[in-house]
Structure 1
């Protein structure tokens, strides 16, 4: 589907920026003290992007029977699981170093992590890799998309999005903001949180299909401006609107869809296009690997290792994560996914769109 190539470069850049902002949110003192900001909303942007991209890539194929709901789930697992499994040894070592070697507990948590079953652990529903909680809801949303959401009208999807937003706001009034879902106590609100933005993403792409807006001029400038806007938004201090989740709701309902809509109308060229594609390629490895790495550094500090915690030392770690993410993407993730796809479908149809389909990449 060539239409996807006209706008996915900008969306990949947004996803990359969002992953980087989440990474800075989880530094855990590695960069020294950093005031908390609202970059937790980057996850809601991931869900929105996932709705857009999955609709572009799979809606027509699901409706025409070119792919089944089971086939889509398998494609999603192939896309998300290799790097997730690669992160587990780091998280396992970090958790055992921090909490001791209770073999029965570790075995139970490891089995749950491999099977992607949420845990009631006090360190989060996925204690070996905290940020991976959103992947659970990504997979859940993909299943719901393939069996139900593709059959609903625009109005029905919008109604579902607003109803899910209402439930999310209810949870956020207790928690203080939209940063709910990764803990056992607010796990149930993760479903409404993903359904809110994911359904909006489906609506956004359907609106694009109906209107077919012209590609905007100055795509490079607009794309860079939208990335700068995302950086600015996610750096708003969390304390300003804590306890007033309607601000988060406004960002997710209006601002993020507007940013994505504008990005869908742009086309990048030259160096900007290259940088945007690299941001897209690195987004998922950065997102899924940074949590266990920072957690390991925290565990080592707690065990008495004298690891520096300063902006300079932290930036060395950040650069290291970028390098590891690039190596993992090129030399592990892509080859493994290619082999798995060949095992599942040795002769895939040529109509498969050559675009990313993971919201949290």
Structure 2
């Protein structure tokens, strides 16, 4: 069975979302005021989660229907996608935190590096076991992704028994009930759901992943540019209002519209954005390793206060993060995946998915 083509617009969107996360973490380290858009950068993770479910369904639903889907093979491919970069960045993070204080003054760690590394290795650092993300802190979302992948065969089997429209409606209803229950259990200013990270980030991914699956089931294989552009326009308007009003619920409501719109429209983004999307997993996973020592060294060199680095630090460390992501992609992500899949060429099946599914370089579609 032929694999679906890359959804180039999804790939580019993933790259922009990864860049949004980096700015969200970097900008507050400088003395410059943080723009409203940058301050909501944590919402990019919700986009990743919804997109991940959409890609998994788009790719694997035909295989499930055709009887060519093996859960073990699926999970191994997910492992080959996630784990090599996670393992390398985890090792680098532990090294930085272990030897960094010898060069730059730092606060004592509130956790044991060995114990935290073990939680990261077994992908349990998104379940409230620790009070901090520790080590390579963005990787909590990879632990959440792993949990969603474990459930995907069951979720897909349930969804494919329903008509597509009913499946999407059911996934939206489940997501609404799920988020409402979490909000009731974890009352906090704003939307507590979008703040779940190492403290039960595994609960944050499930409703969004499920909605992504539902919209891919309904709209996958269709091409309706006019409707797609209308959905994208509605999504952008909704999400702009969400940023301006700081209403995270509006942003979440716009996610299915945006992804469905791009799937139906399928615009061709610039090659630079396509490549940014293809290295987005590496950018997401490596940027904290640039942020932590980079800003400390700049603060020490310029004699700046903590979290008050000069403005030039932002573009400098952003450029370093992009270079590090490119190298990590070329030296670790792509070759490790080929090795784990027994020397096969990088498959196109995962292109356009969430940060944990960043694909290797491939020819851009016309």
TM-score, scaled relative to structure 2: 0.78
In structure 1, the partner of 2:284 is 287
Specify the SS of the correspondent of 2:265.
coil
Q: Which runs of 5 or more residues in structure 1 are unaligned? A: 242-246
Change in 2 beyond 3 A, CA 1:79/1:283 = same
**d(CA) in 2 for partners of 1:5 and 1:158?**
26
Task: Tell me the residue number matched to 1:339.
Answer: 339
CA contact (8 A) 1:41 1:234 kept: no
| Counterpart selection for 2:207 from 196, 219, 222 | 196
Change (3 A) 1:252 1:138: same
4+ runs deviating over 6 angstroms: none
SS of the aligned residue for 1:90 comes to helix
Q: Residue in 2 aligned with 1:163? A: 177
In 1, Cα distance between equivalents of 2:303 and 2:80: 36
2:157 aligns to what? 150
Please show how residues 1-361 of structure 1 align to structure 2 within 5 Å: 4-5=4-5, 8-27=7-26, 29-35=28-34, 37-96=39-98, 97=101, 98=106, 100=108, 105-118=112-125, 120-124=129-133, 127-152=134-159, 153=162, 154=167, 155-170=169-184, 173-174=187-188, 176-177=190-191, 178-183=193-198, 187-188=199-200, 190-209=201-220, 212-216=222-226, 229=236, 233=240, 236=243, 240-241=245-246, 247-253=247-253, 255-269=254-268, 272-298=269-295, 300=297, 304=300, 306=302, 309-342=309-342, 353=349, 355-360=351-356, 361=358
What displacement does 1:167 show? Answer: 2.6
SS of structure 1 residue aligned to 2:112:
helix
Alpha-carbon shift at residue 45 of structure 1 (Å): 0.5
Q: Distance in 1 between matches of 2:118 and 2:236?
A: 41
User: CA deviation digits over 1:89-136, x for unaligned, max 9?
Assistant: 33213433345589x922222222222222744332xx1111111111
- Closer/same/farther in 2, CA of residues 358 and 42 from structure 1, 3 Å limit: closer
Q: Cα deviation per residue 1:55-98 (whole Å; 9 max; x = unaligned)?
A: 01112323444232222122111101111122123321343334
Q: TM-score, normalised by structure 1?
A: 0.79
Report SS of the residue matched to 1:26: helix
8 Å contact from structure 2 (residues 194, 204) kept in 1: no
Counterpart residue number, 1:244: none
Alpha-carbon separation, structure 1, partners of 2:14 and 2:3: 19
Shift of 1:146: 1.2
Contact 1:2–1:353 (CA<8 Å) still a contact in 2?
Answer: no
Which runs of 5 or more residues in structure 2 are unaligned? 359-366
* Alpha-carbon separation, structure 2, partners of 1:307 and 1:335: 41
Count of matched residue positions in the alignment of Structure 1 and Structure 2: 332
Q: 1:91 touches 1:295 (CA, 8 Å); kept in 2?
A: no
Q: CA deviation at 1:5?
A: 2.3
Distance between the aligned counterparts of 2:15 and 2:80, measured in 1? Answer: 20
Instruction: Provide the residue aligned with 2:362 in structure 1.
Output: none
8 Å CA contact retained: 1:161, 1:197? yes
Distance 1:123-1:340 versus aligned 2 partners, 3 A rule = same
| Cα distance between partner residues in 2 of 1:287 and 1:180 | 18
Report if the CA contact (8 A) 1:57-1:353 is conserved. yes
Q: Does the 8 Å CA contact 2:225/2:266 hold for their aligned counterparts?
A: yes
Which gives a bigger RCO, structure 1 or 2 (Cα 8 Å, sep 6+)? 1
Q: CA deviation at 1:41?
A: 1.0
